[in-house]
Amino acid sequence: MNRIAQLTFLAALSFSQIALSAGLSVSDIEQKISAKQSEYENYNSVLDSEISNAAKLERGLADLRKNVTLADADRQSALIEMNLQYDKVIENPELDIAPARSAYAKAVRTHKAIKDAISDKYNQWQAKLQEVEQMQVSKHSLLNTIEGLKEQLNSARVDRLYEEFNRKEAVVVSHKIACDKDETLSKCTERGKSLAKQKASKRFLDTVYSSLSEAKEVEKRRPTSDVSVQVLRSDVADSNFSGQGNYNVKMNLQLQGNLKRSEGCQLLGLDRRYCVSFAGKNTVKLGAAAPILVTDDSVMYELTVRSNVFDDEVFIDGVSYGSTKLQIMLPSGQHDVEVTKRGYESNHQQITLNESKTIKVELERAQYRFSKGERIQDILAGDIPGPDLVVVPAGNFRMGDITGLGLANERPVQTKDLKQSFGISETEISVGAFKAFVRATSYVTDAEKGEGCAFYQDGKAVWQANRNWRSPGFAQSDNHPVVCVSLKDAQAYVDWVSKASSQAYKLPTETRWEYAARAGKETDYWWGEGINSDNANCGWCGSQWSNVSTAPVGSFERNDFGLFDTVGNVWEWTVSEKSSSHAVVRGGAWNFAPRLARASTRMELDGSFRANYIGFRVVREQ
C-alpha cells in the first residue's frame, strides 16, 4: 500500500473511531486527539507535496508541448529535404539519398516519441489531480474527526467534573460555641449543631474543589458558581456543656456535593450545550451511576404572552418560542422576554415569575427601515417567484482568521472594501426553488449524469450512484436546502435566474459571502465566540438535526444583516478569489464540527465535487 493510500485509509478510519470514543475517559480522548492531530499534520504535509508534484507534472507537460512543436518543424524540414533529393535523383540516378531518408525517419521517430511522452505525462497529471482531490476531501474529513473528538472531550470533562464533585464522604467535626446569656440550652444546642454542619460543609467543599482534576481551571470561576453541599445524614457522637457556658459538640456527617450539569459548564468555561440533554430527556447516565438531573426541581408556572399584532416572534431567555398568543411553563425566577416583528420596534422586558402570569405587549411601528436589510424578490418568467433577497449595505470589514483560531488557508487577515450594496438570498437555495428551475429548463445535474453524489461515512466522502438532489440519503421537503449540486449545477441555476428575471445574478465571491455572514461582527460566529446550543445546524451543535440531516431553511435566528444559516446546515459554493483552479465552500454543514462552521473557514474543492452536505445561495447586483 503506497503512502497516499495509507493516509486515505487512515482518514477513512478516523470518523468511525469517534463512535468508539463514547464513554472513554478524558485522558483517553486527549491521547486520541493528540494521535489524530499528528496524523492530520502528516497528512497535510503529504498533500502539499502531492499538490507540488501535480504542478511539476503540469509544467513538464507544457515543456513537452513546446518540444513537440519544434520536433514537428524538424520533421517538416527533413521531409522537404528528402523530397528535394528525390527530385535530383531523377536527373542523377547515381545520387545517394540515403542520408536524407535516414534524417527524415529519425525526425519522424523523434516527433512520435515526444507525442507519446505527452500522452503519458498528461495521464500522469490527471491521475495526480484525482489523487489530490480525494486527499483534499479526506483532509477535511480527518479535521472533522479531530473536532468531533474535541466535542466528546468537553462532554467527558463535564462528566468527570460531575462525578468528582458529587461524591459522598463521611466527615467528623468538632465545634465549640459560647452560649448567649439569654439563650436557652436547647437553642444553644441547636445553634451549635447547625454551625458544626456549616463548618463541615465548608471544609468538605474546599476539599472537593482542591481535589478536582481541573482544580486550577475551576477555582477561577468558583466565586460566581452556585454549587452547594447536601447533608445526607448527621449524628451527634458526643456533646457537653462546660462550666463557662460553652457548648461542645462532635458530629458524624454524610455529605455529598451538589453540582448541576449546567453549573459544571460554567465552572469549566464551556458552552451550555455540553450540559444539556439533546434527546428531550431530563437525565443523563454516567456509566452505572445514578441519573443526573439536567433540570432542577424548581416550581413551574405558566406564562401567557399576547401582543397587538399577528406573525410576531417571542424570545424568552434568548430562545424563540414562536408567535403570540403563547402559553408556556417556566421555572420560577427572572426571565427576559422579547417580542419582535419586522417593521416594528422590539419590546423587551424582564419579568420575575413567582406565580402564573399574563403579559400584554403593544408593538409600535418602526420609524426607520428594518435594520436587518430591505427584502426584495424578483418575479421570474412564467410568474415564478425568485429567491427572497436581503439587501446588504456597502462597507468594509476584516476578512480571515481574526480570532487566531483558524486554519492556515484563512490567513493573512485582510481589510476588504465593498463599495456597492448587493442583494443576497436570505436562505440557501431550497429544494423547491431548484425544482422550479429544473421544471423550466429540463436541466440534469452532474450527480444524475455521472457517479451520483458523495455522502460522509466513516471519515471519508463515499460516492453512491443513486444519490442526487432528489434523493440525498435523508428526507427533504421543498423547504430544505438543495444539496448534491456541483459548482456547475449552481452556476446553471444562477444563469437561469438571471435570464428569467433580466437581472444580474451571480454566485457569491468569498469576500461577499464572508461580509454578509459576519454581519458586522469580528467573532467566529455572528452571535459571538462560542457556538452555544441550538444556534445552528452543525455537528454536535445541539439541534435535532445535528449529525442527522439538513434542517429546513430559516430554522434558526437571522444574523444582523437578516440572513439565515450562514453557520451550518450546508456548505455553500462560492467563487474563489485565491485560486483560479478551485472553488471554495463556506459556512460548515450539518455533519461537520462547530469549529469548521466559523465565518472565516474555507474548504477548497474541485468544482465538480458534489455531496449531500453542499448547497449554495445567490447574490444579485443592484
Q: What pLDDT digit, counting tens, does each position of 97-110 carry?
A: 888 889 889 988 98
In a domain, residue 534? The reply is yes
In a domain, residue 230? The reply is yes
Contacts for 515 with CB less than 8 Å, ≥ 6 apart: 392, 395, 397, 399, 416, 418
Average pLDDT over every residue of 380-397: 89
Average pLDDT over every residue of 394-407: 92
> Rounded distance, CA 600 to CA 181, Å?
72
Q: Are residues 490 and 343 in the same domain?
A: no
Give start and end residues of each alpha helix (H) in 21-93.
26-91
pLDDT of residue 343: 58
Q: Are residues 388 and 511 in the same domain?
A: yes
Is the pLDDT assigned to residue 615 strictly greater than 90? yes
In a domain, residue 282? The reply is no
CATH number of the domain within which 330 lies: 2.60.40.1120
278-296, pLDDT tens digit by residue?
Answer: 433 333 333 333 333 332 3
pLDDT of residue 467: 96
pLDDT of residue 289: 36
In a domain, residue 294? The reply is no
Q: Cell 503512502 sits at which residue?
A: 3
Could you tell me if 449 and 465 are in contact, meaning their C-beta atoms sit under 8 angstroms apart?
no
Q: Are residues 504 and 590 in the same domain?
A: yes
> Rounded distance, CA 119 to CA 55, Å?
17
Lowest mean pLDDT among 151-160, 284-293, 360-369, 518-527: 284-293
Average pLDDT over every residue of 127-145: 89
Q: Are residues 253 and 350 in the same domain?
A: no
Q: DSSP label at 566?
A: S
- Bridge partner list, 605: 583
Q: Are residues 447 and 505 in the same domain?
A: yes
555-585, pLDDT tens digit by residue?
Answer: 999 999 999 999 999 999 999 776 555 799 9
Contacts for 111 with CB less than 8 Å, ≥ 6 apart: 68, 71, 72, 74, 75
Number of neighbours of residue 125 by Cβ within 10 angstroms: 19
- Which H/E stretch holds residue 516? helix 510-518
Is the pLDDT assigned to residue 19 strictly greater than 60? no
Q: Up-side HSE of residue 325: CA atoms within 13 Å toward CB?
A: 3
Q: Are residues 315 and 426 in the same domain?
A: no
Average pLDDT over every residue of 304-320: 81
Question: How sure is the predictor about 8, in pLDDT bands with cuts at 50, 70 and 90?
Answer: very low
Q: Are residues 489 and 594 in the same domain?
A: yes
Q: Are residues 10 and 40 in the same domain?
A: yes
Q: Are residues 69 and 192 in the same domain?
A: no
Could you tell me if 159 and 286 are in contact, meaning their C-beta atoms sit under 8 angstroms apart?
yes
Total of domains in the chain: 4
Q: Are residues 189 and 307 in the same domain?
A: no
Residue percentage of the chain with pLDDT more than 70: 88
The radius of gyration computed from the CA coordinates of the chain, to the nearest angstrom, equals 35
pLDDT of residue 374: 77
In a domain, residue 568? The reply is yes
Lowest mean pLDDT among 74-78, 208-212, 438-442: 74-78
Cell for 95? 545520387
Is the pLDDT assigned to residue 533 strictly greater than 90? no
How far from each other are the two terminal CA atoms of the chain, in whole angstroms?
55
Lowest mean pLDDT among 49-58, 115-124, 158-167, 305-314: 305-314
> Rounded distance, CA 320 to CA 346, Å?
14
Answer with the one of 111, 132, 161 that is the final residue of a domain: 161
CATH number of the domain within which 586 lies: 3.90.1580.10
> Rounded distance, CA 117 to CA 111, Å?
10
In a domain, residue 328? The reply is yes
Is the pLDDT assigned to residue 523 strictly greater than 70? yes
Average pLDDT over every residue of 424-437: 97
Question: How sure is the predictor about 410, in pLDDT bands with cuts at 50, 70 and 90?
Answer: very high
Answer with the one of 130, 161, 192 that is the final residue of a domain: 161
Answer with the one of 361, 393, 408 that is the final residue of a domain: 361
Cell for 70? 519544434
Average pLDDT over every residue of 444-462: 90
Name the average pLDDT for the chain: 85
Q: Are residues 116 and 54 in the same domain?
A: yes
Cell for 245? 457556658
pLDDT of residue 365: 62
CATH number of the domain within which 79 lies: 1.10.287
Q: Up-side HSE of residue 543: CA atoms within 13 Å toward CB?
A: 28
pLDDT of residue 400: 95
Could you tell me if 248 and 242 are in contact, meaning their C-beta atoms sit under 8 angstroms apart?
yes
Could you tell me if 554 and 536 are in contact, meaning their C-beta atoms sit under 8 angstroms apart?
no
| pTM for the model | 0.67
> Rounded distance, CA 213 to CA 215, Å?
6
Lowest mean pLDDT among 65-69, 251-255, 370-374: 370-374
In a domain, residue 280? The reply is no
Q: Whole domain around residue 410: which residue ranges? A: 375-621
Question: How sure is the predictor about 175, in pLDDT bands with cuts at 50, 70 and 90?
Answer: confident
215-237, pLDDT tens digit by residue?
Answer: 999 888 877 776 777 778 889 99
Lowest mean pLDDT among 18-27, 141-150, 584-593: 18-27
What's at 25, amino acid-wise? S
Q: Are residues 420 and 493 in the same domain?
A: yes
In a domain, residue 575? The reply is yes
Top mean-pLDDT range of 199-203, 340-344, 351-355, 393-397:
393-397
Question: How sure is the predictor about 502, in pLDDT bands with cuts at 50, 70 and 90?
Answer: confident
